[in-house]
Each structure stands twice: as structure tokens, then as C-alpha cells.
Structure 1
Amino acid sequence: MLDAARKVLLKSGVAAMTLEAVASEAGISKTGLYYYFSSKDALVFELVFSTLEGHAQAVQSAVATAETGGEALGAIMRETVHAYAPKMDDFRLAFMFGQVAGSAGVQWSPDQFARIRPLNAMIFGGAAALIEKRQTGGGKIEPRLLAFLAYLSALGLLTMKGMVEAQGDPLIYSDERLIDGFTQLFAAVDRS
């Protein structure tokens, strides 16, 4: 059902996405769809959540193999870019959907936000713990903030990539070169 919803959403957009269209694409009745999803908002949330959850698990696994804070920050960036660069529709769904769909009336509930927050801990927690363990002295950037900044770097890279490639003008630098550049910048956490 989520695959059918994704197809309808990407083909028609959120405003034109109806439960009837999703049910038809999935080959079930609308009543059958209502058994699993109480509304269009609930269905769209589950679609976005499943994308975010899979990504959070992959980042957590990649960070678990890091030995230094810089490696952990690099793992966040590398896993994020490698996961979404070949699937830009998933990236747009997970990270840009709220901006685009806001006018279509899709709203998340406090309970839905509560389900998303633990994913942030999965993405940032391991790197933050590794950085905190190795940091000495005061005046350092908060470890979780560093992990979040690494994540933002990857999301920014993907946003720029999506923007220029949609215009037929790819980035001058490869994904790997950009990830390596960011990783070198963030590796300074191990030297401070």
C-alpha cells in the first residue's frame, strides 16, 4: 500500500492524491485502505516515516563502525548522500515534502512528531557520544550540534544536486569529492 501511495503521490502530487487513487493502484478497495490508514494525512505520514526510518537505521549502522568523531560525522554525510542521491524522489519526499505539501493541508499530529524524534537520536546519537568521549577542554561545539551540522551538509549537497541536475547542469564536483571535502572539515573535531 505504501508503494502504491508513493507512485500516486509522485505521479499526481499531494493535492491530487486521493485514497481512491491509492486503493486503485494497490488493487484493494477504499474500505480496505481505511482499515490501515484513517486518513490521507495518516497514509502520507507513514510513507514519509518509512523513508526516514530506513535511512536513520542505515546511518546508525554506519556510525557504529566509526572509531573517531570525524569518521562518525563523515559516516552521517556519506550514508545520507549515498542513500538519497540515486533516489532523489525519496529525498524530496522525506525532506522537502512538508514545505511543498503545507499548502495542501497535510499536517502531522503531535503523536506523529513523537514517532519521528527517536529517529533523530538514531542519526545523531552515536556520533555525538563518540565526539563527547574524545573531546577535551571547554569552548567546543556541542557534539550533537556537530552531528546535526554534518547532516545538514549532506542535505544541502543533495538539495543543490537535485536543483542543478533538474536543469541539466550537474555539479562540477562528484558526490564523493564533496563528501570528502566536508569530512575533512569535520575531522577537525578529532584534533581539538
Structure 2
Amino acid sequence: MVCRSHRPEQLVPSSKHSRTVEDKAASRLARQERRRARSREEILDAARKVLLRSGVAAMTLEAVASEAGISKTGLYYYFSSKDVLVFELVFSTLEGHAQAVQAAVANAETGGEALGAIVRETVHAFTAQMDDFRLAFMFGQVAGSAGIQWSAEQFARIRPLNAMIFSGAVALIEKGQAVGGKIEPRLLAFLAYLSAIGLLTMKGMVEAQGDPLVYSDENLINGFTKLFAAVDGS
């Protein structure tokens, strides 16, 4: 016999209650993810400071953990080795730069403008952050001697960043280029990128010796932009 004071339908949780439970669980997971992301970024920031201060050979997980204010065990939760930590540091710099170049190229209307955007964004992004430039583009010159090697899987993560940097410019060049253009579109995009890296390398070399370049950054950027626009025919 069913007690009249308890109606059967009251024993079944309402859909509103179920949604509330699910929403709370989703909110809790989102907070946990945000905390993990912040902790990861804090460790990468600490690693960058230690690396720039001490050099890659002297950089240890203990030093990074101390800089980040966590235990070495806590650091291992996010990064399993020094090689992995250093790779993620370099990768985050390259990824952020690739995204910025991609966004700049998206505002271009012609192939020539896109090539100029690659040069301009690359130079402007790293001029104020030359340590990041050295970390991203010159780290490989010292990594091997420090015993750091990237795996095939890590290289596979880096390669798509090239597509982010070049694909927008390539599409615009192909759209406006006459059939049988003299220079292959992706090569043009790569040359524009290479010119910006070369400019930054030279800038870092001479300014470190107190002998800055005769031409300003804008002079050089504008020169490259006009040169690539002429080659592209834009």
C-alpha cells in the first residue's frame, strides 16, 4: 500500500534539479581547468626567468620549481622532464607569434600587403622582446650542446604553426598572381618571414655592441614591404 502523504511522482528528481547538478559539476570542472591553466602558465613564466638568467645548461627543474613557488613533485604534475618543459616554453612563444601573424595577414587585401604584414608583425612583436626572439629562433643553436633534443612528435606540433604564418599570404598571392608566376607563393611568404628574422638577428647583434643600424625599423620594414609588393606584382 502506498502512503497517501507521498505521491509517487515526488520520488523522481525533476529535470530542473538534474540541470542544476550538472551545471554545478560543469562549473566546478571549469574552475579546475582555469586553475590548472594558470599554474601551467606560472611554471612556464618561472622557467623563462630561470632560463634567461642562468642559461639552458644550468637550468634545473629544482630551480624552476623554486622560482614558481611549488614543489618539484608539483612541477612534475605538469611537465615530466626538463626537455618537455623547455619545449613547451619555446612552443608557447612560437604559437603566440604565429597567431599574431595570422591575424595581421587576415587584414591584408593583396599578396603584397600580406607579405608586408608578415614582416611588420614579426619585427614589431619581437623588437620589444628580444629575449623571446632568441628563445624562439636561436635556442636550437645551444639546445644540442645542452643535451636537449626534440622528438618527432614535438616537431609535428611545431610544423602546423608554419601554415598559420604562411597560408593567408599564399592564398592572396595565388589569387592575384598571373599563371606561371616567377616565384612560388609559399617561397615568397617564407622569404618575407626570413627577411624579418634576419632583420631582428642583425638588430640584436649590433645593438648589443652599442652600434645600432643606420636605418630605423620602419625604414627597413617599409623597404621590405615595397620590395615584396613589387615582386608579387601587387
TM bracket, shorter-chain basis: over 0.9
Who is 2:93 aligned against?
Answer: 51
Distance in structure 1 (CA, Å) of the matches to 2:78 and 2:181:
50
Distance, in Å, in 1 between the alignment partners of 2:76 and 2:84 is 10
Query: Does residue 147 of structure 1 match 2:180?
Result: no
Summarize deviations over 1:100-158 as a string: whole Å, max 9, x none.
Answer: 22200111111111110110000000000110111113142110110000000000000
| Equivalent pairs, count | 192
Q: 2:202 aligns with which of 160, 167, 171?
A: 160
Match in the other structure for 1:5: 47
Q: What is residue 11 of structure 2 aligned with on the other side? A: none
Code of the aligned partner of 2:64 = V
Unaligned runs of 5+ in 2: 1-42
Q: TM-score, normalised by structure 1?
A: 0.98
Counterparts of 1:139 and 1:46, CA distance in 2:
39
- Residue 188 of structure 1 corresponds to 230
Matches within 5 A, 1:6-21: 6-21=48-63
Counterparts in 2 of 1:24-103, with a 5 A limit?
24-103=66-145
Residue identity in the other structure for 1:33: L
**Structure 2: distance between partners of 1:190 and 1:111:** 35
Residue in structure 2 matching 1:110, options 142, 149, 152 = 152
2: CA distance, partners of 1:138 / 1:5? 48
- Between the aligned partners of 1:191 and 1:86, the Cα distance in structure 2 is 32
TM-score, normalised to structure 2's length? 0.81
**Residue ranges of structure 1 left out of the alignment (5+ in a row):** none
Which aligned segments of 4 or more residues in structure 1 are displaced greater than 6 angstroms? Answer: none
SS in 2 for 1:92: helix
CA distance in 2, matches of 1:120, 1:190: 20
Q: Report the AA paired with residue 58 of structure 1.
A: A
Match for residue 176 of structure 2? 134
Give the superposed CA RMSD: 0.9
User: Of 162, 168, 178, which aligns to 2:220?
Assistant: 178
Worse-superposed segment, 86-95 or 135-144 = 135-144
Larger radius of gyration: 2
Partner of 2:37: none
Tell me the distance in 2 between the aligned counterparts of 1:163 and 1:189. 29
Identity of aligned residues (%): 88
Deviations 1:30-72 (A, max 9, x none): 0111111111000000000000000000000000000011100
For CA contacts below 8 A with separation 6 or more, give which structure has more relative contact order: 1
